[in-house]
Amino acid sequence: MILMKPALLLDIDGVLIPFEKDNFDKGAMRRRVHELLPHFNVMWCTGWETSANEAGLMFDMPVLPIIRFSDQVSPEDMPHWKGAWIAQTPLLQDRPFAFVDDELDNEAANWASERARGVDGIPTMVLPTDPQQGMIDAHVEALLAWAEIVKLIHH
């Protein structure tokens, strides 16, 4: 049996690139992202869509898969506007994933808990960031700890 790493869905604005430019340390963010890469299969989940990999070059990231948004789906069915597309992404159907975004709220956290408690019990983590600061070391620590737990559960 091949053990698959959990997926990590990353936004760009407010996560990798904070809105408060004084808080932007490209080297620190590059280090954070590269700490996560060995533990996750990372995917872009951002309004940047096809330009996401260009932004990733700023952090020396490899080319990553992109969740593409479509007018064919009604995002009102999910607690986050990206949720409908996440739910319909085949790679994520039965797979543990963490979602890091600056627009996550309690509804998104409840949705993740329900997915984790559902019939199949698929571990799901939503991790909101402060858009002024973006992803910080504490987020990376939480993601790495969660990935270890998922590995133990799905081993």
Model confidence pLDDT, tens digit, residues 96-151: 999 999 988 888 888 888 888 876 788 999 999 999 999 999 999 999 999 999 98
- The verdict on pTM exceeding 0.85 is yes
pLDDT at 86 over 90: no
Asked if residue 57 has pLDDT above 50, the reply is yes
Percent helix, percent strand, percent coil in the chain, to nearest 5:
45, 15, 45
Cα–Cα dist 51/45, whole Å: 11
Q: Are 4 and 146 in contact (CB under 8 A)?
A: no
- Short-list 71, 64, 61, CA closest to 46: 64
Return d(Cα 23, Cα 18) in angstroms, integer: 7
Q: What is the pLDDT of residue 38?
A: 97
- What percent of the chain lies above the pLDDT cut of 90? 55
pLDDT tens, 60-81?
999 999 988 765 554 455 545 5
Domains present along the chain, CATH in parentheses: 7-153 (3.40.50)
Q: How far is CA 10 from CA 90, 118, 120, 143, in A?
A: 17, 24, 24, 12
